[in-house]
Amino acid sequence: MECTGIPVDAHATNDSMRIGARRRTAKAAQVRQTIRSTHDTYLLRRRSRAGIRPGGTLILR
């Protein structure tokens, strides 16, 4: 199998790379979610402290 130029463990390497990429994607999504929730709570806290809800800043998702 080595005479074809493909190492024997090439398939194992590809699998681990795929798993690593998937894990990185999941981690990035988790970080984005955390940032969004922190941002939302910060805005809500600031808005409630002011006592005035500025028009146009309310974003409905």
Residue 26 lies in a domain: yes
Residue 4 lies in a domain: no
Burial of 8 (0-12, 13-18, 19+ CB in 10 A): exposed
Question: Domain limits at 17?
Answer: 9-50
Is pTM beyond 0.85? Reply is no
pLDDT in tens, 4-54: 666 666 555 666 667 677 777 888 888 877 877 777 777 776 665 555 555
SS (H, E, C) 1-61: CHHHCCCCCHHHHHHHHHHHHHHHHHHHHHHHHHHHHHHHHHHHHHHHHHCCCCCCCCCCC
The number of folded domains in the chain is: 1
Residue 60 lies in a domain: no
Residue 39 lies in a domain: yes
Residue 16 lies in a domain: yes
Residue 21 lies in a domain: yes
